[in-house]
Amino acid sequence: MSARRMNGWSTAAVGALLLTACIDQSGAQKAIDAILPGGARPEVMPRLLNRVSPFVYPRAAFDARQSGDVLLRLWIDTSGAPVGDSTTVQEHAALAAFDSAALAGAGQLRFSPAMQQGRPVPVSVLLPVQFRPPTP
């Protein structure tokens, strides 16, 4: 989360946001579904490299303790970067702000590239993003 998005928020709230507007790295890795342009699965799946979530919990939703799930479809190039214009929401959250937050953070995701016959290949990936308020 950038410092410019944190102004006015308490340290505890910011810490909670970092934990709740997230992609659980191990859970997301198990859920990643990648397919090559021809529809086959790559021999080596892309691996999520982000250690810190790039997704910012929408403030109004955080204050209202709302939660939501978004399923993104990303096109990942041979370097492991998402191709920005190709990212779409495959399954929408009930609250549109979660969809917007997921799309906004998607460009900052980084992956190890998918591999086919020892070479990096572009793939289409489904990635779940969960927004959960902290538990008291």
- φ/ψ (deg, to 5) at 98: -70, -40
All structural domains of the chain: 3-131 (3.30.2420.10)
Taking only the tens place, the pLDDT of each residue in 37-95 is 777 889 998 998 988 889 999 999 999 999 999 999 999 999 999 998 899 999 999 99
Residues of the chain by 3-state class (helix, strand, coil), percent to 5? 30, 30, 45
Beta strands 114-116 and 88-91, pairing class? unpaired
How far does CA 52 lie from the centroid of its chain? 11
Q: Is 44 in contact with 24 (CB distance < 8 Å)?
A: no
- Rounded to two decimals, the pTM is 0.75
For residues 38 and 71, give the distance between their C-alpha atoms in angstroms, rounded to a whole number: 22
pLDDT at position 58 is 93
**If you count them, how many residues does the chain have?**
136
